[in-house]
Structure 1
Amino acid sequence: MNAVNPGPEHSPRSRPRHEAVAALRPAYLAELADGPSVFFEPMRHDCPCCGSARIGGHLRLPDLIQHKPGAFRIDRCHACLHLFQNPRLNARGLDFYYRDFYDGLGEQQLDGMFGGRTKSYRRRAESVLPYLGEAKRWVDVGTGHGHFCEVAREVLPDVVFDGLDRSAGAELAELEGRVERGLRGAFTELAPGFAGSYDVVSMFHYLEHSTEPLRELEAARTALRAGGRLVVEVPDPDSRYARLLGRWWLPWLQPQHLHLMPVANLRRALSELGFTVVAEQHRSAHEPVDLVAAVWLALDEAAPRDDLPWLPARPGRSRRALRTSALLAGVPALVLATLADRMIAPFAQRLGLCNAYRLVARRE
């Protein structure tokens, strides 16, 4: 049973949060009646990247962001070092765990967060600019609400940006004028309809969410003209922060991140699909948030839960007050972690701490 998608007059934006949560609770609890096991595919016994049977448990995590029920295992392939969620969420599970994250209850918060990353988006556009050639048409896959495209147009005023996303964010991006066209749907299904139309396809922190990353890369090849550029930015599982911070490393992001590809694996996959990598970037792809995010995740896990529709009942007043007190007590640690992130950032690549990497590849 899926939660009914509320109409505009009943959306979480148009009512107090506690009322929106209460309205969603019956559907969530009904869906959880059979337990979280119904949200997973059977466990696989080989690597989805290279097919090796030499795989083993690497990490086991709960949902540290939304705190929805369930436990998630990340396996590592000992042959190619690919990391992947195992067992993987099925279609029902993907729907359940994404719901109210980018839309619904989480829409306003996420829109504000992504909208406030202007400097990061500008740096991203400027970093790939030297490798784009005479680009005129660009589609940003996994565009969300199109904030990157809005900023990138200032760096590349002659480029027409389209945005593609599975969510209604793509349509909203078009309505807000952030993209020329907002394309809603699965990239692998839509790409044949605009084969060879684009000079640039970008996937910024999109591929790790995909159930079949290689099919997404094939779709990019289809959408690009000969000589066009593919820009891929993903979390770097080889970052030393992944080992130092363990379960508190934000880019694990379970259960959303299904695949974490070492850079060598992605380079090899692109080569096999007929791409030539023209740039590999680590420092400019790094976001200095690892330490502050780790502190926040730990505090949020330790403090009593806020009101959430997948909880059987709303926490009482005393429990909510205790949560507020615990989070306020953690403010000094958050401030120190923020300062440390900024101080370390200039040396992140030299220290092997970059939390992401970016590849620019040419379609031959």
Structure 2
Amino acid sequence: MTTTEAGADDRETAGADDREAATRGSVHARRVAALRPAYRADLADGTDRFFEPRRTDCPWCGSGRLRQRLHTTDLLQHKPGTFTLDECQECAHVFQNPRLTGPGLEFYYRDFYDGLGEQRLGGVFGTRSAVYRGRARSVAPFAEAPGRWLDVGTGHGHFCESAREVFPQTSFDGLDLSEGAELAERHGRLARGLRGSFPELSPQLAGQYDVVSMFHYLEHSTEPNRELTAARQALRPGGLLLIEVPDPLSRFARLLGRWWLPWLQPQHLHLMPAANLRGRLGELGFSVVLEQHAEPHDPVDLLAACWLLLDALAPREDLPWAPGGPPGRLRRALRGALFVAGAPVLLGATVLDRLIARFAGRAGLSNAYRLLARRD
């Protein structure tokens, strides 16, 4: 092939890539335009209806000694509204106050895990196989070959697909409020995909499982106690409950403030310290057999904080809930230029995150903890 021919091929390939990118952009713009009227109708009367009355006591221990821990906005989707997290001064439980109503939960979850956000998050979850296998291995010393495993809040079943490499003889079911569990069953990631509320479905599942897992699920639930009770009902005597949640006592939570990703407002409704969760599990008839802080740490705190800050400073993307119409060429160019300029900062934050991960557990910087408890 001559140099001229090679150059022509390169130009043709580049042109095809540009056309493909333009097509994706056009499809996205049409989807956003189609969603815009519904979002404008939802927001016509403001956001007050999305919030319950503010409560004056702790939902975990009942104490009235509360203080404000955080006041922030939606830093990921940039949907309108402000959100407050209060902390109980008796038990250190952190909770959203006022809490979202049912319509509020629907509004703020919409287009995050599904719709506009489905492809983006599906790609993220699908690349974390090593993390998922690590979670599964934490059970191995206590159950060599579980017969049936239920993953609650399974999403699209990516954990179960990876966990099967650790426990090839185990039958993995998944439960989720979204259609993701049903899709995962059709794709072969789950033996059975259940759609619905765990507390409502648990009587039908009573005593069926050797392991129930909840990975970054409990903090999303409106009533964590009901979820834990449902897990006890679904487990056989001697079965294991595996829970992983953000750690509100992480030093990163205070160092980074509203830019700490695990606050994840407005989705995270409850963030409970490990001592609180251990105590409640004991009350429900569980014995905690394993507690981990270093292993579940996800080394993204500094990277995520820098990205959230850059995103907050940059002009908004084309979003159906944003006021006005689609961004013009200048706004799009400014947004791209800001992230290009911030790339060295993001790279440096990534390196620091990985260095810190080596001692995060010992230094109290771990952003999550994991408990494994046996039903007595």
In the TM superposition, what whole-angstrom CA distance separates every residue of 1:78-121 from its partner, at most 9, and x where no partner exists? 01000000000000000000000000000001100000111111
Q: Displacement of 1:15 after TM fit?
A: 7.2
Is the counterpart of residue 341 in structure 1 residue 353 in structure 2? yes
Contact 1:131–1:279 (8 Å) recurs in 2: no
Contact 1:57–1:76 (CA<8 Å) still a contact in 2? Answer: yes
The superposition leaves residues 7-41 of structure 1 with CA deviations (integer Å, 9 ceiling, x where unpaired) of xxxxxx99710100000000001100111111000
Counterpart secondary structure, 1:283:
coil
- 2:373 and 2:178 map into 1 onto residues whose CA distance is 27
Residue 324 (structure 1) aligns with: 336
- Identify the match of residue 52 of structure 2 among 41, 65, 69: 41
Distance of 1:28 and 1:240 partners within structure 2? 37
* 1:131 to partner: Cα distance: 2.2
Given candidates 294, 301, 309, the residue that maps to 1:283 is 294
Tell whether the 8 Å contact from 2:296 to 2:368 is kept in structure 1 after alignment: yes
Partner of 2:184: 173
The one-character-per-residue Cα deviations of 1:290-311 (angstroms, maximum 9, x if unpaired) are: 0100000000011110000001
Q: C-alpha separation between the residues in 1 aligned to 2:144 and 2:260?
A: 36
2:270 corresponds in structure 1 to 259
The answer to whether the Cα contact below 8 Å between 2:150 and 2:172 also exists between their aligned partners in 1 is: yes
Q: Residues 148-227 of structure 1 correspond to what in structure 2 (within 5 A)?
A: 148-227=159-238
CA distance in 2, matches of 1:71, 1:231: 33
**Deviation at residue 262 of structure 1 after TM alignment:** 0.3
**Residue of structure 2 in register with 1:146 after alignment:** 157
State the partner residue of 2:254.
243
TM-score normalized by the length of structure 2: 0.92
Report SS of the residue matched to 2:365. coil
Q: 1:130 maps to which residue?
A: 141
> What is the aligned length?
352
Q: Is the 8 A contact 1:127 1:284 kept in 2?
A: no
Larger Rg: 2
2: CA distance, partners of 1:309 / 1:132 = 48
**Which deviates the most, 14-23 or 307-316?**
14-23
| Equivalent residue in structure 2 for 1:73, among 65, 73, 84 | 84
Contact 1:291 1:337 in 2 (8 A): yes
In structure 1, stretches of 5+ residues that fail to align are: 1-12
| Kept after mapping to 1: 8 A contact 2:252/2:260 | yes
Cα displacement string for residues 274-330 of structure 1 (whole angstroms, at most 9, x for unaligned residues): 000000011111110101000000000111100000013111111111111111111
**TM-superposed deviation, 1:132:** 2.7
Distance in 2 of aligned mates of 1:218 and 1:50: 17
Does the 8 Å contact 2:145/2:170 carry over to 1?
no
The residue identity in structure 2 corresponding to 1:153 is R
Q: After the TM superposition, which parts of structure 1 deviate over 6 Å for at least 4 consecutive aligned residues?
A: none
1:283, 1:316 → 2: CA distance?
45
Deviations 1:156-184 (A, max 9, x none): 11110001000010011101100100000
Give 2:331's aligned amino acid: R
SS of equivalent to 1:330: helix
- Which residue type is aligned with residue 340 of structure 1? L
> Distance between the aligned counterparts of 1:202 and 1:342, measured in 2?
27
Alignment of 1:303 onto 2:303: no
Task: Give, in angstroms, the shift of residue 134 of structure 1.
Answer: 4.4
Which residue matches 2:364? 352
